[in-house]
Structure 1
Amino acid sequence: MIFDVVVEIPAGSRNKYEIDHNTGEVRLDRMLFTSTRYPYDYGFVKNTLSLDGDPLDALILLDEPTFPGCVVSCRAIGMLNMTDEAGGDDKLLCVAAGDVRKSYLQDLSDVPAYELSEIKHFFEVYKTLEPGKSVQGGEWVGHDEAELEINASYKRYKDSH
């Protein structure tokens, strides 16, 4: 399954940008309170609705950062099941669909364990110092489970509009 991810935050940034879904403007929401930086480009899958009421989050394994608002055709290789203060907050792990150098990445088992640990650690601690913010969970699931959630998120979006 190929889907579009809109990048909100480029790799290496501590700035937390959000795209205003009504205006399309990119807004600086806040700077991360911790010294951690986004390990890869981070954004959302267009026309989805996750359990926390926002579009489904996605992290894209790219070799170079893009920019806020960039649309990348992606495919999922797994998902990190998480919960935050607003509810279910799953994070898709994706690769660019047209990147032949990443064609070997089909499922979580194709990603080095240490890299998965680094990504999981980032999402477990990036909100630590922020008042009123929390994160729980952090369990990886594979490609099939990720695609089930993508389809469910598309359905939630369609049913709400």
Structure 2
Amino acid sequence: MEMHQGYSHFHRIKQDDAPQILNLFVEIQKGSVNKYEYNKEVGILELDRVLEGPTVYPTNYCDVPSTWNSGDNDPLDAVLFSSGEPLMPGILAKGRVIGMMEMLDGGEVDHKIICVNAKDARYDHVTHVDQLAPYERKDLATFMEIYKFAIKGPGAVKIGEFLGPEKAYELIKESMAEYEKKFGTSTKN
């Protein structure tokens, strides 16, 4: 499904502070069992499915507007660590990039950019993915490995390494260039 430029926030929200700070569109809030997908035709979130078993999203799950990942033919995905209340789906949040997690989903490259909430002072000291608590990285990797189990079967998702911000910056720049090539529009104001 091609993104309709008239409705889609992916074309209107730019990335002026990238690759260090990203504008993120929150799709799924931390703690949710509901998986939402952005309906590009009408410009709203819709319920894709309810996760099975005791699985919940360990972080806020976001899309990165004005980026393109040819591996899964969608904008880049990001996870956003934030303290306090989970962020509401459909809002714009600023994420400070601290790294990325390598991931293959059904053989397609689907790496996750890892951010902390740029407006959350409790994460001000975190500048590298290695500074997250070990359980935070483990919860994220385990969740990503098992949440598609019911629809794709065991082993469909493969987790690679957690990499620092410099590698994430490279991926972000590449995906912004892919976006500009695919849609013929700038990723910055």
**Does the pair score TM above 0.5?**
yes
What is the match of residue 30 of structure 1? 49
User: Which consecutive unaligned segments of at least 5 residues does structure 1 have?
Assistant: none
Contact 2:32–2:57 under 8 Å retained in 1 = yes
Tell me the amino acid that sits aligned with residue 56 of structure 2: R
Distance of 2:99 and 2:129 partners within structure 1: 6
Contact 2:67–2:76 under 8 Å retained in 1 = yes
Contact 1:120–1:138 under 8 Å retained in 2 = no
Comparing 45-54 with 128-137, which one deviates more in the overlay?
128-137
What is the match of residue 12 of structure 1? 31
Equivalent residue runs for 1:68-87 within 5 Å = 68-85=89-106, 87=108
Q: 1:58 aligns with which of 78, 88, 108?
A: 78
Contact 1:2–1:74 under 8 Å retained in 2 = yes
Identity %: 37
Q: 1:96 aligns with which of 102, 108, 117?
A: 117
Distance of 1:3 and 1:21 partners within structure 2: 21
Distance of 1:31 and 1:138 partners within structure 2: 26
Compute the TM-score of the two structures, normalised by the length of structure 1.
0.93
Q: 1:113 aligns with which of 112, 134, 141?
A: 134
What is the match of residue 144 of structure 2? 123
Contact 2:29–2:89 under 8 Å retained in 1 = yes
Is 1:46–2:65 an aligned residue pair?
yes
What is the match of residue 136 of structure 1? 158
Distance of 2:129 and 2:67 partners within structure 1: 22
Contact 2:80–2:116 under 8 Å retained in 1 = yes
| Change in CA separation of 1:34 and 1:127 when aligned onto 2, cut-off 3 Å | farther
User: Which consecutive unaligned segments of at least 5 residues does structure 2 have?
Assistant: 1-19, 184-189
What secondary structure is seen at the aligned counterpart in 1 of 2:138? helix
What count of residue pairs does the alignment treat as equivalent?
Answer: 161
Is 1:159–2:181 an aligned residue pair?
yes
Q: CA RMSD in A?
A: 1.6
Compute the TM-score of the two structures, normalised by the length of structure 2.
0.80
